[in-house]
Structure 1
């Protein structure tokens, strides 16, 4: 079974190498990010959250919708008509807690209550809260909180979407890194195959010792193992990349052909743009970060809740006035308290106010907790920004050092090869120098990847600042 797996791996590797330049698909970082942004389920889910928050505003506005109602009824026993009733009414809630009503009621029958008015009766009324719910009430609080929640959700979903795109972009560059390492190892294998062929020929001509062929073969086998390990790592990173690739209708994109990065680590604009990014972030304040805007809107929601709870500390005093006019009679409503009217005053005062005081205290504590959360978030953001800045500057400096180090190792290898051709060195020393060069090249690739990932962290951090 192991032998079969080994053979299958060799076949796949051979297919990969043979198909390097044909029947392959290339994707750039920009194209990849566009696919993630438009088709990834999480990105779409975040968009739906914003839509849901907008629907919550519509729902809250429903508390101010006029209400139209009607009623019809009749009671008749043993031929006696107790009553016949027809009623239609309209209720209009207003922003300031005042309710307006208008209705038409027709009543007739032989068994009516003495307080009922026979015939058609028009009514217009108003209910005014004199204390509780006058300055603020549940309807206004629900609408205010829904508006704040929309801004809160938009800020949160923008941050989450940018985090998704950051994760996706860094996954792309890790994939590029694994591909470049694989190409490096593949090139080393080709060089050592040629070196082995040359060593075997010189041995056959009697110019080299037999041990040199063993040395060359050992080096080749070592690089072949590293090549296969690099290929396996590239395949794993390709699979990680595939997790971000989706098609329309939330279908997972299945990679059915060879896929390669269209970008490489050396040609990224970050090497020239990172200083501009650092300067731009220097002028930003975390007060304008969307993560802080999230807490700011949450504070507004909690403050709205506190204002609503404070209303519960006030006595409930509602004044209601209704004006009546009988059908087929001319209107007679002035003075208001002279004829054709009804009024009422309702007063409720909880004696100890324990529930209201406790609710108001809890609301204030929640505001204090949110303020502490805001301070912690600001500190976290400041720390992240400074950390990413230091990473970018440090890795950029390391790139220059690593490149110089690589150039020096390449010079040493070239010198060793010259000495070897003059019979002044050995294949062992060449292999040792070559191993140093390969290690330096992999280190150089790794540092460039780390620099780009840190640059992306700063770039997407900048995207989280509100305009």
Structure 2
């Protein structure tokens, strides 16, 4: 990608901090490459994926091994009431199973009898299993699955954000090109009107034509000058609007200088720059469209949540077994007579809260499915409408080009007739006005044609390749 030259960098209001040089022509491809790389919204889109990766890392933390140490001691009037040490190492696993290793060492005069252990402490190793709610899905599992879905969804949403900012930037470039072309049109006709005025003024001085004809020629020059001045004002506005999309590294905004011009022959290059495929079936949504991918992944996340809620209709049953030994080496020889085991059971009688949450989850999924079908249908129609627009504007572009050629021929013929004394300045001005209108109409149709291509780019959810 070429470097943009002659860029005036404005930072902190009116402080001139840096200046680079731009080529005289800022191409559409170069412009979009800068927008994609440096525009704040495009960079924010990249942050969404980083945030999703961070959330996935946080969800995986639910399966991290954990060390717990609980130490409690009481001594009063030289009497040791109790000295309790309980340390545990836990390893959570996927299907509601938790592996545990524990060491206990307790002593004291007023120690609770159930805490009595050998003098050198008591080792235990065991497992805790959820055979009810948490066996096939639990909060840790649901959080991890949702985080993975959110990460993939963030990729689609990032692409949508980049696509949207590139679409808006392209529209700004097309408007800049339209106003610049208008200024070129008015500059050319102002030059023609000026030459015509000077010729008529000379003929009037020689007495070949009435002096009043110079007034009409002067009015024509003034009209062209007014049109040109308005076009210049519009060009300044569009140039500033375009500058909103131009940034450099370190979040440095830039403003184009007046000598920078847009690319003239842009229409043949738009499809390549916007990465629009050569063959697309009208009304057919491309595979992996980011909009539909985001909605589909949102549905998956809702389904994970529904499964978690439906699992709460099951009772909470937790089984725990721990093998006990005085020496860690004895873990190699399993003695069934030394153990600690337990079971916990919990189950609400009416399940009104759980059933209500399950209904709400089902309704949310139905709502998301309806939204998916609506968005899919809307995309199909938008893509079809964009194709119809492109076909129409392609035809209109040919007609407008032929109209400009015909009006140019008529103006040329009228000027030749006037040189023979068979026409008038009024007829020439009339022919020229029609030619100006045709040129402006041609420029407007070109702008609408480019708008339609940008709209197709937006509806297809395309992300151009960076150069």
TM-score (norm 1): 0.89
Partner residue, 1:454: 452
The superposition leaves residues 80-135 of structure 1 with CA deviations (integer Å, 9 ceiling, x where unpaired) of: 22222333321111011111110222222222222121321111121111111111
Q: Does 1:292 align with 2:289?
A: no
Does the 8 Å CA contact 2:24/2:260 hold for their aligned counterparts? Answer: yes
* Counterpart-to-counterpart distance in 2, 1:272 and 1:38: 18
Give the 5 Å matches for 1:162-241.
162-241=163-242
| 3-state SS of 2:90 partner | strand
Partner residue, 2:128: 127
Partner residue, 1:369: 367
Does the 8 Å CA contact 2:99/2:126 hold for their aligned counterparts? Answer: yes
Give the 5 Å matches for 1:38-49.
38-49=37-48
Q: Does 1:327 align with 2:327?
A: yes
Residue 265 of structure 1 and its aligned partner are, at CA, apart by: 4.5
Ranges in structure 2 where 5+ consecutive residues have no aligned partner: 1-20
Ranges in structure 1 where 5+ consecutive residues have no aligned partner: 1-21
* Counterpart-to-counterpart distance in 2, 1:455 and 1:332: 73
Does the 8 Å CA contact 1:316/1:347 hold for their aligned counterparts? Answer: yes
The count of residues paired between Structure 1 and Structure 2 equals 441
Partner residue, 1:68: 67
Task: Please state which structure has a larger fraction of its residues in helix.
Answer: 1
Give the 5 Å matches for 1:32-431.
32-116=31-115, 117-119=117-119, 120-255=121-256, 257-265=257-265, 268-270=268-270, 277=277, 279-282=279-282, 284-285=284-285, 288-327=288-327, 330-331=330-331, 334=334, 336=336, 339-431=337-429
| 3-state SS of 2:255 partner | coil
Partner residue, 1:7: none
Residue 417 of structure 1 and its aligned partner are, at CA, apart by: 0.3
Residue 327 of structure 1 and its aligned partner are, at CA, apart by: 3.4
* Counterpart-to-counterpart distance in 1, 2:332 and 2:417: 121
| 3-state SS of 1:68 partner | strand
Does the 8 Å CA contact 1:286/1:292 hold for their aligned counterparts? Answer: no
Does the 8 Å CA contact 1:289/1:465 hold for their aligned counterparts? Answer: no
TM-score (norm 2): 0.89
Residue 259 of structure 1 and its aligned partner are, at CA, apart by: 3.9
Q: Which of 22-31 and 66-75 deviates more?
A: 22-31
Partner residue, 2:16: none
| Shift in CA distance, 430/330, structure 1 to aligned 2, threshold 3 Å | closer
Residue 50 of structure 1 and its aligned partner are, at CA, apart by: 1.2
* Counterpart-to-counterpart distance in 1, 2:440 and 2:26: 23
Does the 8 Å CA contact 1:313/1:356 hold for their aligned counterparts? Answer: yes
* Counterpart-to-counterpart distance in 1, 2:118 and 2:430: 113
Does the 8 Å CA contact 1:98/1:128 hold for their aligned counterparts? Answer: yes
* Counterpart-to-counterpart distance in 2, 1:329 and 1:436: 103
* Counterpart-to-counterpart distance in 2, 1:75 and 1:33: 72
Residue 358 of structure 1 and its aligned partner are, at CA, apart by: 0.5
Residue 460 of structure 1 and its aligned partner are, at CA, apart by: 4.0
The superposition leaves residues 363-383 of structure 1 with CA deviations (integer Å, 9 ceiling, x where unpaired) of: 111110000000000111011
